């Protein structure tokens, strides 16, 4: 009961001020690092290189270039190469109270082949930002 | 006064258990692990005998891949675990012809 009364006494403006103060005490440090367990030989630019081989490159050509994929479809005609990069670090709070969190983004290239094993498409897929 | 021999059994069992608990399954690195691989001569059977089970197989075993780690002592086969590439340095891709002879291969750096 007391808690409810106490909460009722807090004005929404005070909550907003507290929120703004917290945000002012925070900072964003941009980073461009690979996540520890991510593969590092595939980037968005790889999509362009792959697209140049549409109709001529084979499954073997792509595997020889990029290595084993992270995911293979059941029919073996769709390969997915995934990687995760740390976009930055979000730090909130100061002094003895605070928290630092990495913000990561998972990305992937989905490569599709026809029934003869020739490259049909290579599509870049960006994931959402994720707070680790 | 002598201690019965069987009274040492629990202690010996505990010691063995502790020794086993300390044992690691670290892969043995070999700088010449991949030296036997030659396009046009090496067969799929030789690859399987030397490197063991591949991490992935494509097109009815026409293409095999292995995850390879590397340290100061040389290369070693890394056991695949989902999409975790933390300890993998290379992906070895081997392409065979219809007779099972190696046609092309590449040691792709993934890290």
Q: How confident is the model at residue A106 (pLDDT cuts 50, 70, 90)?
A: very high
- What is the least distance, in Å, from the CA of B100 to any CA of chain A? 15
**Which residues in A lie closer than 8 A to residue B55 (C-beta atoms)?**
68
Q: What is the DSSP letter of B30?
A: B
How many A×B Cβ pairs under 8 Å? Answer: 62
pLDDT at site B14: 67
How many Å apart are CA B111 and CA B102, to the nearest integer? 25
Contact A68, A111 (CB under 8 A): no
- Output the CA torsion sign for A46, A52, A54, A58: negative
% of chain B surpassing 90 pLDDT: 63
Q: Which of A40, A63, A117 sits opposite B110 (nearest CB)?
A: A40
H or E stretch covering A100: strand A97-113
Q: A68, B83: Cβ pair inside 8 Å?
A: no
Mean pLDDT of B18-32: 69
Q: Which of B55, B62, B83 sits opposite A82 (nearest CB)?
A: B83
Classified as helix, coil or strand, A48 is helix
Q: Look at the block and give the residue holding tokens 């069987």.
A: B6
Greater confidence (B33 vs A100) lies with B33
Greater confidence (B49 vs A13) lies with B49
How many Å apart are CA B100 and CA B103, to the nearest integer? 9
Q: Which conformational region is residue A24 in: left (phi greater than 0), alpha (psi within -120 to 50 degrees), or beta?
A: alpha
**ipTM attached to this prediction:** 0.76
Q: A76, B59: Cβ pair inside 8 Å?
A: yes
For the residues of A59-85, what is the DSSP string, one character each? HHHHHHHH-S-SEE-TTS-EEEEEEEE
- Cα A32 to its chain centre, rounded Å, is 12
Is B68's Cβ below 8 Å from some Cβ in A? no
pLDDT at site B26: 61
Greater confidence (A37 vs A125) lies with A125
Question: For chain A, what is the radius of gyration of the CA atoms?
Answer: 23
Domain map (residue ranges) of chain A:
26-131
Is A10's Cβ below 8 Å from some Cβ in B? no
Residue-range domains of chain B with CATH: 27-109 (3.30.1450)
Q: Which of B59, B91, B109 sits opposite A68 (nearest CB)?
A: B91
């Amino acid at each position: 009961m007391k808690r409810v009364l106490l909460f009722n006494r807090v004005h929404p403006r005070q909550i907003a001020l507290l929120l703004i103060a917290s945000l002012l005490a925070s900072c964003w440090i941009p980073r461009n690092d690979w996540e520890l367990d991510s593969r590092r030989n595939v980037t968005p630019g790889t999509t362009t290189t792959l697209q140049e081989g549409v109709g001529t490159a084979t499954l073997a050509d792509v595997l020889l270039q990029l290595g084993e994929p992270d995911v293979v479809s059941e029919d073996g005609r769709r390969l997915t190469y995934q990687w995760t990069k740390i976009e930055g670090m979000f730090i909130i709070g100061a002094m003895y109270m605070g928290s630092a969190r990495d913000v990561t983004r998972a990305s992937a290239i989905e490569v599709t082949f026809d029934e003869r094993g020739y490259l049909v498409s290579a599509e870049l897929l960006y994931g959402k930002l994720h707070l680790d | 006064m002598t201690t019965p021999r069987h009274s040492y059994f629990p202690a010996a069992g505990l010691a063995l258990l502790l020794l086993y608990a300390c044992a690691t399954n670290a892969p043995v690195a070999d700088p010449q692990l991949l030296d036997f691989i030659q396009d046009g001569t090496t067969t799929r059977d030789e690859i399987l005998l030397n490197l063991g089970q591949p991490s992935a197989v494509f097109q009815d075993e026409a293409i095999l891949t292995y995850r390879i780690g590397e340290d100061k002592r040389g290369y070693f086969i890394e056991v695949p675990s989902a999409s975790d590439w933390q300890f993998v340095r290379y992906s070895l891709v081997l392409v065979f012809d219809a007779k099972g002879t190696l046609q092309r291969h590449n040691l792709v750096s993934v890290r």
